[in-house]
Structure 1
């Protein structure tokens, strides 16, 4: 993944945030939302007013491919 200047931003637009159904009441989850310009925003669900990371659809697709292939399974142990 390439780091860009606009990666960490405070978005001014209203987004429809979504989180996994596997999320739990203690807030151990991130939320994602599509942005108006075609990106994907990500934030910590415990700090909804905090910073937001914005990725391209291609970056999210590459990450999800890695998740599906089990490349990050060791990080959840």
Structure 2
């Protein structure tokens, strides 16, 4: 199942177990779901489209992204 993990692959190919919702939307129930993969990478998907594409990040990429968000670098999106 995890032989060819790649960015944009169908989320269903990563299995149905292990997805969690660390972030959620108060209006409408749309959430970002995250799953830690066996090799340490992190997959993200849209909860309203669990069969849709997964974005796959290395631990370093996720750490950098979260640090940037905490530092306000994504505030322009609000």
Q: Is TM (by shorter chain) over 0.5?
A: yes
Contact kept? 2:35, 2:43, Cα under 8 Å: yes
CA distance in 2, matches of 1:67, 1:47: 24
Aligned length: 72
Matching residue of 1:41: 43
Matching residue of 2:61: 59
* Over 4 Å off, 4+ runs: none
Once the two structures are overlaid, the 10-residue window that deviates more, 14-23 or 58-67, is 14-23
CA RMSD in angstroms comes to 2.1
Q: TM-score, normalised by structure 1?
A: 0.77
CA distance in 1, matches of 2:32, 2:24: 11
Unaligned runs of 5+ in 1: none
Judging changes above 3 Å, is the alpha-carbon distance between structure 1 residues 66 and 12 closer, same or farther for their aligned structure 2 residues?
A: closer
Q: TM-score, normalised by structure 2?
A: 0.76
Unaligned runs of 5+ in 2: none
Secondary structure of the 1:7 match is coil
